[in-house]
Amino acid sequence: MDTSPRFAEKKFSQGEYIIKEGDPGDFIAMITSGSADIVRKINGVNERIRIVSTGQIIGEMAVLSKEPRSASVIANEDVAIIVIQPRTLQMALMNDDLPIIYELIQQLVARLQETEKHMEEYLRVSGKG
């Protein structure tokens, strides 16, 4: 019988890496306090993609795609997260018993819509659309 807790809380200080680009996707997290920058290395320099804050989920893309992390997440102030292991997420998806599932789906849809918007803008500006 598995008696391990479903969630673990972790805290990070300003400037600490919560997630590192290229690492395996071994957890998803929900930010419970603070904010962080999502950054991607472009030409050897960390470029900020977006800011995430309380209530937002991070790390889901690598877990769901089973690919290495595509970006880093760096605390820009003190940050607390709740860590969700892939097995917990998998069981919750099958049993529909994890409250963040709806938030996760909404976030994924928003990112897809944002990507489509950027693609349409690129095609319009480049004259390919």
All domains of the chain in start order, with CATH: 7-126 (2.60.120.10)
Q: What's the pLDDT score for residue 125? A: 79
3-54: pLDDT as tens digits? 445 678 999 999 999 999 999 999 999 999 999 999 999 888 989 989 999 9
Confidence check: pLDDT of 75 > 80: yes
Q: To which residue do tokens 């900020």 refer? A: 48
Residue 21: phi and psi, rounded to 5, are -55, 135
**What is the chain's mean pLDDT, rounded?**
84
Q: Which of 26, 24, 18 is nearest to 86 (CA)?
A: 26
| Residue 81 contacts residue 31 (beta carbons within 8 Å) | yes
Question: End-to-end alpha-carbon separation of the chain, Å?
Answer: 56
| Residue 74 contacts residue 118 (beta carbons within 8 Å) | no
Q: What's the pLDDT score for residue 95? A: 72
Angstrom distance (rounded) from CA 69 to CA 98: 23
Residue 23: phi and psi, rounded to 5, are -70, 160
